[in-house]
Amino acid sequence: MVTWNSYSLQDSNSPNMDQLIMFHDLTMTIVISIMSIISYMFLFLLMNKFTDRFMINEHMIELIWTIIPMITLLFIAMPSIKILYILEETDTPIITVKSIGHQWYWQYELNDMYDINFDSFMIPFNSNQPWIIRLLDVDNRLILPINSPIRMLVTSIDVIHSWTVPSLGIKIDATPGRINQIFMTMNRPGIYFGQCSEICGANHSFMPIVVESTSTNLFLKWIQSFMYL
């Protein structure tokens, strides 16, 4: 989902992104609390004429401001490790999609579904077609069913690319000669935009990604449309 003039994270459409947003909110809460306390202490010591060296240079104080950051880091590290484990968790996939990065477009293969293979190029912006989102829309979208475990295999044919869809919490490198995999499940129907997030050449900004999540029946109809091409 694309929201203009938004400075926050995109709306989540996967369990992984739900966890990442929760971790972001937790970390920002801790960081803002630390900044507020430190700012108050700094102003208090700066403006208080009764401040002496025993208030800012004492063994107990140094012990406190050593132990408290250690505890704070534990509160950040524990959910972070948990989320890293969740992101790497594997499941039995219903569909396997192979994404191949090219300079400068994406190629998709669904070998489980009648050996489907198609390219996805960016649509040039045309003011007569206001429904096209500039630099983000493509001619062939990757259509996938909701509430289904999907395995993405990502590689590249030339240089390093990065298959990234923020709403799904996915950013995985497409490396030549190597196949990386990631699992995802989409919660609801929608159209979700992404871009290559690895500087891959002159047209790096012109190889967007569009994933359309839909019901299983509509997905099967889309698969059947390739049989008549």
Left if phi > 0, otherwise alpha if psi is -120 to 50, otherwise beta: which for 117?
beta
pLDDT mean by block of 10 residues, the chain; 229 residues: 67 88 91 91 77 66 84 90 85 89 92 83 79 85 91 93 92 92 90 91 91 91 77
What pLDDT is recorded for position 56? 62
Question: Who contacts 1 (Cβ-Cβ below 8 Å, separation ≥6)?
Answer: 10, 11, 13, 167, 190, 191, 192
- CB-side neighbour CA atoms (13 Å) of 114: 10
Domain spans of the chain, in order of start? 15-88, 95-227
SS3 of residue 159 by DSSP: coil
CA distances to 28, 172, 174 from 137, in Å: 32, 20, 20
- Please measure the distance between the N-terminal and C-terminal CA atoms of the chain and give it in whole angstroms: 30
What pLDDT is recorded for position 222? 87
CATH of domain 95-227: 2.60.40.420
The architecture that CATH gives domain 15-88 is Orthogonal Bundle (1.10)
Question: Who contacts 47 (Cβ-Cβ below 8 Å, separation ≥6)?
Answer: none
User: CA torsion sign, 87 to 91 to 94 to 96?
Assistant: positive
What pLDDT is recorded for position 52? 63
